[in-house]
A and B are shown apart, each in its own frame.
Chain A
Amino acid sequence: MIEIKNITKYYGKGESRFKALDDVSMNIKDGEFLVILGASGSGKSTFLNVISGLETLDDGEVIYNEEHLEKMNEKELTKFRRDNVAFIFQQYYLLPHLNVEKNVKMGADLGDKDYLKYIEAVGLHDKRKKHPSELSGGEQQRVAIARALSKKPRVLFLDEPTGALDEKTGRSVLDYIIKLQEKEKFTMIMVTHNANIAETADRTIKMNSGKIVDIYDNLNKKSAYEIGW
Chain B
Amino acid sequence: MIVSLKDGFKLIGISIMACCAVCVCNMFLNFQIDLRSVANQVEAGPAQALYDAFVSTSIVCCACCGGCMLITSVVMLFFYIKHYIDSHSREIGILKAHGYSNFRISRGFAIFAISILVGCLAGYLLSFAIMPLFYEKQNDNNLLPHIPMNIHWYMIVLLIIVPTVVFAFIAIGYSVIKLNQPTINLLKGITKQKDKYTDGKDKKNFVSEMRSSVLKSRKTLVFFMILSSFCFSSMIQMSASMDELASDMMGIMILIIGIVLAFTTFYIALTTVIHANQKNIAMMRVFGYSAMECKRSVLDCYRIPAYIGFAIGTAYQFGLLKVMVTVVFADVEGVPDYHFDWPMFFITLVAFIVIYEGAMFIYGYLMKKIPLKQIMDE
Contacts and interface: CB of A to CB of B under 8 A. Distances in A.
Q: Do A and B bind each other?
A: yes
Interface of A: 49, 54-55, 74-75, 78-83, 85-87, 89, 91, 93, 95-99, 102, 105-110, 116, 129, 131, 133-134, 151
13 contacts: A75-B290, A78-B285, A78-B289, A87-B286, A87-B287, A93-B283, A97-B213, A97-B280, A98-B195, A102-B209, A106-B284, A107-B287, A109-B205
A151 B206 CA distance: 13
B98 interface: no
A22 B280 CA distance: 32
A108 B369 CA distance: 25
Contacts of B290: 75, 78-79, 82
A110 B287 contact: yes
Contacts of A75: 290-291, 368
Given A78-B288, A98-B210, A105-B206, 6 more contacts: A75-B368, A79-B290, A81-B288, A87-B287, A109-B205, A109-B207
Contact of A81 (B195, B210, B286): B286
Contact of B189 (A83, A96, A109, A151): A96
9 tightest Cβ-Cβ pairs between the two chains A and B: A82-B288, A81-B288, A109-B206, A129-B197, A133-B190, A105-B206, A133-B188, A102-B209, A55-B373
Contacts of A81: 286-288
B298 to A, nearest CB: 11
A131 B289 contact: no
Interface of B: 188-191, 193-195, 197, 201, 205-207, 209-210, 213, 217, 279-280, 283-291, 368-369, 372-373, 376
A82 B289 contact: yes
B221 to A, nearest CB: 14
Given A78-B285, A110-B288, A97 B195 contact: yes
B287 A82 contact: yes
Contacts of B217: 97
Contacts of A55: 373
B289 A74 contact: no
A97 B283 contact: no
Contacts of A96: 189
A95 B189 CA distance: 12
Contacts of A89: 376
Which secondary structure dominates chain B's binding surface?
A: helix
Contacts of B283: 93, 95, 106
Nearest to B216: A97
A133 B189 contact: yes
A97 B279 contact: no
A133 B187 CA distance: 10
B82 to A, nearest CB: 15
A109 B201 CA distance: 13
Contacts of A85: 288
Nearest to B370: A74
Contact of A151 (B280, B287, B369): B287
Nearest to A105: B206
A216 to B, nearest CB: 30
Contacts of B373: 49, 54-55
A102 B190 contact: no
Given A93-B283, A129-B197, A133-B190, A98 B213 contact: yes
Nearest to A74: B368
A124 to B, nearest CB: 14
A93 B193 contact: no
A74 B286 CA distance: 11
B112 to A, nearest CB: 25
A54 B209 contact: no
Contacts of A134: 190
A97 B193 contact: yes
B311 to A, nearest CB: 30
B197 A97 contact: no
A93 B213 contact: no
Kindly name the residue among B209, B283, B287, B290 whose own CB sees the greatest number of chain A CB atoms within 10 A. B287
Contacts of B291: 75, 78
A107 B290 CA distance: 14
Contacts of A107: 287
A107 B197 CA distance: 19
A102 B190 CA distance: 17
A186 to B, nearest CB: 15
A75 B369 CA distance: 10
A227 B376 CA distance: 33
B286 A106 contact: no
Nearest to B377: A91
A109 B203 CA distance: 11
A127 to B, nearest CB: 12
Given A54-B372, A93-B376, A116-B201, A98 B286 contact: no
Contacts of A93: 279, 283, 286, 376
B286 to A, nearest CB: 6
Contacts of B285: 78
Nearest to A115: B201
B218 to A, nearest CB: 10
B190 to A, nearest CB: 4
Given A93-B279, A93-B376, A105-B206, A83 B288 contact: yes
Nearest to B193: A97
B286 A79 contact: no
